[in-house]
Structure 1
Amino acid sequence: MAYLSRAKKDNVVYAELFFDPQCHKQRGVSFETMADGILAAVDDAYHELDIKCKLIPCFLRHLSEASAMDMWSEIFKYFQQHPEERDKIIGIGLDSDEQDNPPSKFHGVFWKIRHASKSVVGDLHIVTHAGEEGPSNFISQALDVLRSERKDHGVQCLSDDKLVQRLREKRIPLTVCPLSNVKLGVFDTLKQHNLKRMLDLGLKERQHSLRRSSLLWWIHYAELSRSN
């Protein structure tokens, strides 16, 4: 609710929130408890702030695919037991450290997600963090192996002209988070960021708001706009 209240101040009317259920499962918190709590805040924000929000639980790529499979079983069970919440969880994502953790590592679990019964899970979208710290071929893997519909980050695509052409022609969206890229050392400063070049090349981009409480930093679109 605190994040959505802050987003409202920047005139956000719709948000898609990532969260990492495996972090909390390690502390003994069930997916049902997590989802119920977050969705209660989402409902409060809709009624009190007139802001709409959907959820995208993500797998942590530094953990094993077996761990992701186990998490997916809990998510699927939640869909079975709470069909009324199905339209509020709109996708499954993949995030965390790209180093030595290619998208192909999670081929099996995303195959299972893609083939899950639509009568239970609805039309779940697949989105992946790729091509921030990892190489451009991680973006291609996410497209071809996981069948990801949207790339979060994707700034490394400019090292591969054929990939840029594919992203442009297929209108595959990229959600770019410049402050994350600077904090992780992908770029030294915001002025060095390649966002403008990506836009000039006709890529379909959205600037993205990201908060990482463990690193105690965040950025909002309005703040990024004021920095330029």
Structure 2
Amino acid sequence: MANALSQPLTPWSADHRHQLDRDARSIFILLPRSAVALANVVGSFHPDSGIDLSEAFRDGRGVLAKGRLELDEGVEVSYELTLCDAASDNAFKLELTIFDPAVDGDAGELHRGVVTLDSPITISLFGDGWTIALIEEPITEDEYGQRQGSVCPVCTSDQIEGGRIEVDGGGAWQPIACNHCGSTWDDDFKLTGYSRLSISREDAAND
């Protein structure tokens, strides 16, 4: 594990990685995969282990995600997700802080608490209950293609099922569902040519 921190870390932008579902009062904060890898490594160490973790927090790498959300028209909050030393059990954790950007200083803090990738939390923001979940950023379309569509792009589980293929013009698509995380998406197909052509001798003779 210690060697993982000695390797170059893939850089990421922590800004504006989220999805908002106002109807369901849900916020999904997307974490770059390289940031999740760092969090997993750092989280496996005890702060008193004597291992130098300065590389993990260099150049602001302790900030995994941050941004601003418009909960409703005219109602905004800012959030920041960081790696921290949780004093309660002396272990490294992910800490989510939510601010009111219209209020300066500590008075603008609306929520501060430890969160995990596996367990969504529900908090009150301006009188409404909001569910907040941390999600590892889906793999790219190129990565999905390289894996030949064999895994869920969200959780990378291979427990996926496909529906009926629909064809339209030079393309086709197939609805896919993940039985592990519940995500759904479409596999897209494109006509690239033909193969195994067999010319009828009768038609060729008539020509």
Structure (1 or 2) with the larger CA radius of gyration: 2
Task: Indicate whether the TM-score tops 0.5.
Answer: no
Taking structure 2 as the reference length, the TM-score comes to 0.27
Q: Which has the higher helix share?
A: 1
Instruction: Give the TM-score normalised by structure 1.
Output: 0.26
